Amino acid sequence: MRDDFLSGDWAANKHRLTADVDKLGHNLVEKVSDSFEALNRAQFDAPWHRVWRKVRISGLR
């Protein structure tokens, strides 16, 4: 396993692997950032304009 990093295949493909990992990390950061922005918008954007649902809690039947 240790010698796999010394092979010609690793030397030929390590740049592609690095680029793929970088792209994956970038996409993940974008998704998390978009999610936090949406949560902040939902929490802090004009709460007085929201229509609140009325929840009725009934007793035991």
Question: Looking at residue 12, what is its pLDDT?
Answer: 84
Question: What are the C-alpha distances in Å from 60 to residues 2, 33, 56, 57?
Answer: 65, 43, 13, 10
**pLDDT of 61 over the 70 cut:** no
Q: Is the pTM of this model over 0.85?
A: no
**Is 59's pLDDT higher than 60?**
yes
- State the pLDDT at residue 41: 76
Instruction: Identify whether the C-beta of residue 35 lies closer than 8 Å to the C-beta of residue 29.
Output: no
What is the Cα–Cα distance from 35 to 26, expressed in whole angstroms? 14
Q: Read off the pLDDT of residues 1-54 as tens digits, 9 standing for 90 and up.
A: 567 777 788 788 888 989 999 999 999 999 999 988 888 776 666 666 666 677
